[in-house]
Amino acid sequence: MKRMTFVQALNDALDLLMAADERVFLLGEDIGHMGGDFGVTRGLFAKYGGERVRDTPLSEAAIIGTSVGAAMVGMRPIPEIMFADFLGTCYDQIVNNAAKMHYMFDGQFKAPIVIRTAAGGGFGGGPHHSQSVEGWFMNVPGLVIVGPSTPYDAKGLLIASVENDNPVLFLEHKALYRVRGDVEEGYYSVPLRKAARLREGTDITIVASMKMTHEALAAAEELAVDGISVEVIDLRTLRPWDQQTVLEAVAKTGRAVVVNEAPKMGGLGADVSATIAEECFRQLKAPVQRVCGLDTPIPFSVPLEKVILPNKDDVKTAVRAALAD
């Protein structure tokens, strides 16, 4: 094991993938000489050259359109969309081309592309650089959405995503880029569609992902001081998410809190909480609690942003509300 930041783990995964398979190539804005806006592709241009680490024009539609075409003829592109908010400008290429390719051509063509993008708020980036976008894509059949919370998972899930033949939206929360953790050296993968049970508990289950996993773990630590035993599940794959692991955990504890950074309406938290309510109705001792961002654009002001985005205190409040019923 080696101590790495989230960014270093992603960079290591890309390096290993490119070394193992010459069909893998990268493309995006400023990913070559500059090494990416967040440094994830740093050093790869010098090692693999401009044919496999391609700087592109400022056109997200062109980046994803090119990736879909390349994937159809056998390549394994890994495009980078600098900020997840800009996925709106290539939404058609993702939803109507990549996600439907295998279905429309009965498997004769496929679109094994992994779209890396930086998501989430908490750094004063404002309304166009801070959104949690998983809800935009939750009801798109054929698309896989991945959201790691640790450097170990970031590396392993990225490798698994590239090995997968489906189009994958790979969300990297910006607040986690500097997080450090132990990462296995060499080539390994973390299975898609499999949640991680990060903490065992008996009183209540918290289901979270990406940065909210860290808020959930922090809340669980503080609640333990008061004798409250909290189980924490990290979804890791957001679509399709691991219902078996989540429902088994909730059936055991009888209470659930679902934490999602995005606004409450129509998002990942809504789907997870609704499924828990439907499938664990007889095991639930209290209504499912949701902790989500407020229904408003993200402001530039960091103090205002802290009010809008959920944190460990909001999680603790929801846990106590569920236990009070």
Topology agreement, domain 2-183 and domain 196-324: yes
Interval 8-22: pLDDT, tens: 999 999 999 999 999
Q: Which fold is adopted by the domain 196-324? A: Rossmann fold (3.40.50)
Question: What's the whole-number mean pLDDT along residues 194-214?
Answer: 98
Interval 222-271: pLDDT, tens: 999 999 999 999 999 999 999 999 999 999 999 999 999 999 999 999 99
pLDDT value for 247: 98
Question: What's the whole-number mean pLDDT along residues 70-99?
Answer: 97
At the fourth CATH level, the homologous superfamily of domain 2-183 is Thiamin diphosphate (ThDP)-binding fold, Pyr/PP domains (3.40.50.970)
pLDDT value for 277: 98
Interval 145-175: pLDDT, tens: 999 999 999 999 999 999 999 999 999 999 9
Could you state, in order of their start, the residue ranges of all structural domains in the chain?
2-183, 196-324
Q: How confident is the model at residue 45 (pLDDT cuts 50, 70, 90)?
A: very high
Residues 33, 102, 128, 129: which is the catalytic one?
A: 129
SS3 assignment for 227-273: CCCEEEEECCEEECCCHHHHHHHHHHHCCEEEEEEEECCCCHHHHHH
Q: Is the pLDDT of residue 209 over 90?
A: yes
Mean pLDDT, the chain, as a whole number? 97
Q: Is the pLDDT of residue 325 over 90?
A: no
**Tokens in use for 302?**
């960091």
pLDDT value for 7: 98
Give catalytic status of residue 129 as yes or no: yes
d(CA 289, CA 63): 39
Question: What's the whole-number mean pLDDT along residues 85-100?
Answer: 97
